[in-house]
Amino acid sequence: MKPLTISLLSLLGASACSDAPAEPVKKQIVASEKAHQLAQQHIIVDTHIDVPYRLEGQYEDVTKATAKGEFDLPRAQQGGLNAAFMSIYTPPKLEDEPGQHRYGPKAMADLLIDRVEAIVGRAPGSFSLAYTVKDIEENYAAGKVSLPLGMENGSPIEGNIENLSHFYQRGVRYITLAHSESNHISDSSYSEDKPWQGLSPFGKELVKEMNQLGIMIDVSHVSDQAFFQVMELSEAPVIASHSSLRHFTPGMERNMSDEMLTALKDNGGVIQINFGSYFLTNEAYQWDETKEANIQAFMKQHGLTEDDEKVTEFKADYRQQHPYPFATLDDVLDHIDRAVEIAGIDYVGIGSDYDGVGDSLPTGLKDVSSFPNLVEGLLQRGYSDEDIGKILGKNLLRVWRQVETVAQQSAAANKATAI
């Protein structure tokens, strides 16, 4: 350890480093033959996989087996994944620091869409883009894995409503209004600074335009105020593309409260459960919060920035001294059970956040080949084959169809008015 690396004991206090009683080990869930069969028979839709940004600066060909990451073609086929929404993610700094980066938000989003199109171009017999529910179903029948697009962070709209049509034409079918910081559209659940007290005036306009075009509104990451304003404004059901339940992580605004779940049900939308341990258990959530507090204290004490080598070393030392409390597949099932209890079986799905939550995935669900394990867990908890099909994808496809219908009705009404 280098001289500037501060002792963890001095930052955390002796009590934080004392040995805690070990958590009881939950049984490992191993997929049965029936679970594997159901995973192949049902259309599995995962609404959030961060492959495009994962490949930024560290290219791998995901049409083949890859050494890194949680998604590639062989593992998707093994797990029965049929529709993997590729996350078109742009970091908030691209909006917050205009002109200081190689790409602005819109240019970065276009680059990532190009990357998805290139993946399909390398394996057109195995992958296919998907712009409608019908595309998903036809690709499934043809034995292809669909790669629809979801935009994580609305920054690429850049305050220009015409850019919404641009990205619709490029294939984007949902937009997460904000990310880890408030932007020109919406306040973020993570941000202490909430300048709009919900949605901005432009954000309210954007919600209506998304309804008219047929783009699903994604309320993951937005503040509670923004969520309820979307509920009031949207004429179409919305999605939470990769969120879990606040009941299990008290104080975490990023997850959804019971009240929000009820409102989502009334809206006809769907919550797609996130697999990251941080979203699943209070232990993992608190571990991350404590780690981040100590990183910030270390950086402040030594006048360092996030990319400094000493900070990287500090993070590694912290993880070694304080092993990460991984969630389990049972924890994911607990979230699904409660979401079904509060909202109902028709309003729950999966949005894993594979390739987006780092090394924090639960035991039993480490990559896209693991979906049969999830199916087995649902079987063991008494879910019927029909209900499992709803959770795996039918609920999301139902919402997407309704969003398409609202857009078609809007277009027809506008045409009639023009005549």
pLDDT tens-digit series, residues 187-221: 999 999 999 999 999 999 999 999 999 999 999 99
Q: What is the DSSP string of 237-278?
A: --EEEEE-BGGGSTT-TTSBPHHHHHHHHHHT-EEEE---HH
Per DSSP, which regions of 301-405 are E strands? Answer: 348-350
By CB atoms closer than 10 A (0-12, 13-18, 19+), residue 416 is exposed
Beta bridge mates, 222: 188
Report the CATH number of the 30-281+325-418 domain: 3.20.20.140
DSSP E strands in 343-415: the ranges are 348-350
pLDDT at 17: 31
Reading the block at residue 258, the tokens are 């019971």
The low-confidence residues of the chain, meaning pLDDT below 50, are 1-24
Residue with tokens 């602005």: 104
Q: Rounded to whole angstroms, what are the CA distances from 330 to 29, 210, 381?
A: 8, 36, 10
Q: In angstroms, rounded to a whole number, what is the distance separating the alpha carbons of residues 219 and 304?
A: 35
In single-letter form, the type of residue at position 29 comes to: I
Query: Whose CA is closest to 288, among 351, 356, 353, 358?
Result: 358
Residue 415 is predicted with a pLDDT of 83
Round to the nearest angstrom and report the end-to-end CA distance of the chain.
Answer: 75
pTM for the predicted model, two decimal places: 0.92
Residue 416 has a pLDDT of 84
Strands (E), 325-419: 348-350
Give residue 26's pLDDT.
62
